[in-house]
Amino acid sequence: MKDIYAYVDRHRDRYVEWLQEICRQPSVAAQDRGMKETAAMVERYLKQLGGEVQLVNTSGFPVVYGLFAGESDRTLSFYNHYDVQPEDPLELWDSPPFAAEIRDGYIYARGVADNKGNLIARLAAVDALLNVRGRLPLRVKFIVEGEEEIGSVHLPEFVEMSRDLLQADGCLWEFGYKNADGRPQVSLGVKGMCYVELICRGANTDLHSANAAIIENPAWRLVWALSTLKTPDERVSIAGFYDKVRPLADDDRIVLEQMIYNEEHTLEKLDLCSFLLQLSGLPLKEKLIFQPTCTICGFQSGYTGQGAKTVLPAEARVKLDFRLVPDQDPHDIIQRLRQHLDQHGFSDIEIDAYTLEHPARTPLDNPLTRSVVATATEVYGIRPTIMPMSPGTGPMFLLCQSLGIPAVSVGVGHFASNNHAPNENIKVDDFIQGIKHIAAIIEDFSRQS
């Protein structure tokens, strides 16, 4: 692989330019900003490398599908996404979120870690292999969707239409991060998601708060409703919420024990004294990986500007995400949430569902994991740490597990990449190493069977 690695090093600037170009193109699915332009850009990249490309339209944003022929029928697919999270709060960015500025060896941009860096690294790996070897050793499929950050809402339509396009012997999932000690993480599953907005309404207009003595306040009602959903011990109080959570298996416990999680580094970076509930060690890792969550992602009611305004709000809204673990079912959870609110006297609170995704897991031992781990050890000079499941979410159940395809996630981010947050970044060196790693996986996986 030395010829490939040398090629990647020689073309470092070109690959960084590709990455900057796509990062400078906003693609915020939640706000329908720049989506068409970005899909067209991905299509162009794939075509320039000689891929057979389809822009597959759905009721939402299109999926870009690219196929590269290989020396064998063995197939490796890549799942990535071209959409990004909204960039606010803008004032906390040190450079404009779509400037893709490089400072001290890091490139800063909304989407650079999640997920454009990984997408471009995979394109670059294919480019390097094709240029050096003339041909790929196996068939490669790119599946690049535009709705990951809004819950892959219309991806089931794509799967329905294109089930045959998806078949593969393994799928490299979209993301991966280096730990604080520089060790890459390889993960083998994703949490599911039930993302909802709860809306509580009061009078038909905001009122002078003197009226609060006798007119119901939707912000208070929402606070009371929320306080019934989760208690300060972090237990979700919805009846049956934990029924389908699998108990920790023995082999999972072993992997969890081996999994490296640098607590001190994380706490220091975030200016925190401790983790939730003072957790540490195995219980901390178990909670991170194997426990579901219920998170307030946003709360809005009344006057939130400068100074004091004495107003009784007409409405209160909260955005909640539940991250789910096997074998919780998002459709079941949303029903239980509705029942819970009804039973606690909050039948007036509306639920808007945004994202319903199943959790997914790949078995610990499989050929793709072996390829990923072996090549990572070679490229990074250190054995990666295995996460049996990622605390994040994605449509892995839909694209892989339900089709019997093992999915393994690895990528170019690092523990402080600030995904979904201001100053999202990756290290340029990690990006270059990531390209080499993908090329090595393609090579290694073509030889396994």
Helix, strand or coil, per DSSP, at residue 263: helix
Q: How far is the CB of 320 from a copy of itself (least distance, A)?
A: 10
Rank residues 31 and 335 by Cβ distance to a copy of itself and give the closer one. Answer: 31
Q: How far is the CB of 230 from a copy of itself (least distance, A)?
A: 7
Q: How far is the CB of 419 from a copy of itself (least distance, A)?
A: 5
DSSP string, 88-133: --GGG-SS-TTS-EEETTEEE-TTIIIIIHHHHHHHHHHHHHHHHH
Nearest by Cα to 139 from 47, 90, 73, 87: 73
Backbone dihedral angles phi then psi of residue 74, each to the nearest 5 degrees:
-60, 140
Rank residues 310 and 335 by Cβ distance to a copy of itself and give the closer one. Answer: 310
Q: Which tokens sit at 278?
A: 């003072």
Q: How far is the CB of 19 from a copy of itself (least distance, A)?
A: 20
> Both ends of the chain: CA-CA distance in Å?
20
Q: How far is the CB of 132 from a copy of itself (least distance, A)?
A: 36
Rank residues 301 and 446 by Cβ distance to a copy of itself and give the closer one. Answer: 301
Nearest by Cα to 348 from 237, 220, 202: 202
Rank residues 222 and 408 by Cβ distance to a copy of itself and give the closer one. Answer: 222
Cα separation, 5 vs 7, in Å, equals: 5
Cα separation, 274 vs 251, in Å, equals: 28
Q: How far is the CB of 280 from a copy of itself (least distance, A)?
A: 10
Q: How far is the CB of 296 from a copy of itself (least distance, A)?
A: 4
Which residues are CB-neighbours of 96 under 8 A, at least 6 positions away?
A: none
Q: How far is the CB of 344 from a copy of itself (least distance, A)?
A: 10
Q: How far is the CB of 147 from a copy of itself (least distance, A)?
A: 10
Nearest by Cα to 22 from 132, 109, 139, 151: 109
Look at the alpha carbons of 437, 361, 147, 57 in this order and tell me if their dihedral is positive or negative: positive
Contact in structure between 100 and 23 (CB atoms under 8 Å): yes
Nearest by Cα to 8 from 96, 124, 100: 124
Cα separation, 267 vs 416, in Å, equals: 11
Nearest by Cα to 304 from 206, 380, 234, 374: 206
Tokens 């979700």 correspond to 236
Contact in structure between 186 and 387 (CB atoms under 8 Å): yes
Rank residues 306 and 449 by Cβ distance to a copy of itself and give the closer one. Answer: 306
Cα separation, 398 vs 408, in Å, equals: 14
> Side-chain half-sphere of 144: how many Cα atoms within 13 Å?
32
Q: How far is the CB of 189 from a copy of itself (least distance, A)?
A: 13
Contact in structure between 28 and 424 (CB atoms under 8 Å): no
Supply the DSSP symbol for 275.
-
Q: How far is the CB of 73 from a copy of itself (least distance, A)?
A: 36
Q: Is 311 exposed, middle or buried (0-12, 13-18, 19+ CB in 10 A)?
A: middle
Rank residues 23 and 312 by Cβ distance to a copy of itself and give the closer one. Answer: 312
